[in-house]
Amino acid sequence: MVKVWDITIPELSGDKTRRVYLYLPDYYDEDDRRYPVMYMFDGHNVFFDSDATYGKSWGMNSYMNWTKTPLIIVAVECNHEGNSRLSEYSPIDFENSTLGKIEGKGKIYMDWLVWTLKPMIDREYRTLSDREHTLICGSSMGGLMSLYAAVCYNKVFQRAACLSPSLWIDQEKVMDMIASSRVRNDTCIYMDYGSKEIFNHDDSPEALISVSHALLMKRVNLTFRIVPGGTHSEASWEQQIPIFMECLGL
């Protein structure tokens, strides 16, 4: 069962609304047990093809119903205006010849998710609200944000799935972000990149190796994969769901 409602993030987009998608297991009302929660980025691309930007979603609703995984999923739509998604989903300022200067507002977004959205979800639904049962997941810029959440909001998130993370935006700043973070050694991170997308950005291969090494030096329980034939698309990320869910202990 997926519930959908509108929400605002005043700190980022004033009174402009965006959708929140919340998945509850079909058996949620049959007992009084509590559930882990996974927060996801680009919520419009998570469940339904009809809402997805390019007409293809991750199909998480079908996967969850099929596997009956005991998990609540909260997925918030991105800001579609101009470069707002890039800005909200970046923890750092960056610049390149194609995009120009992008102001990173990822901290503002994550503060809202952690201090406004999460308490609301924990209050209104039967969640296991502790760090051990709070996960985060995303792809592309959402993959970068999931990595950011795992290392810089490590007191909140124990587990993260970072699919095709946009490490290319500024490898040095991403590395500094990891180096300056305090990460518990029970942290579990899944990270992957498709073999057919890895050279879309010149800096990606080196960044992936460097970031993986930095995470391992933090004693993170890291799963890193190059996905054979993987592309930068929802169809490809959908195929990785069973793998990253298992790696995250779900």
**DSSP 8-state symbol, 82:** T
Report the DSSP pairing between strands 188-194 and 17-23.
unpaired
d(CA 244, CA 250): 9
Residues 208 and 198: beta-carbon distance below 8 Å: yes
Confidence band, pLDDT 50/70/90 cuts, at residue 204: confident
Mean pLDDT, the chain, as a whole number? 96
Angle between helix axes 204-217 and 171-179 (nearest 10 degrees) is 10
Q: Work out the average pLDDT over 189-205.
A: 92
Report the DSSP pairing between strands 94-96 and 100-102.
antiparallel
d(CA 139, CA 41): 8
pLDDT of residue 217: 95
Please measure the distance between the N-terminal and C-terminal CA atoms of the chain and give it in whole angstroms. 19
Q: Which two tokens stand for residue 244?
A: 């990253």
Is 91 strand, coil or helix? coil
The yes-or-no verdict on residue 203 having pLDDT over 90 is no
Reported pTM: 0.96
The yes-or-no verdict on residue 99 having pLDDT over 90 is no
Window from 10-14, 97-101, 143-147, 204-208 with minimum mean pLDDT = 97-101
Is 214 strand, coil or helix? helix
Report the DSSP pairing between strands 188-194 and 2-8.
unpaired
Is 30 strand, coil or helix? helix
The yes-or-no verdict on residue 124 having pLDDT over 90 is yes
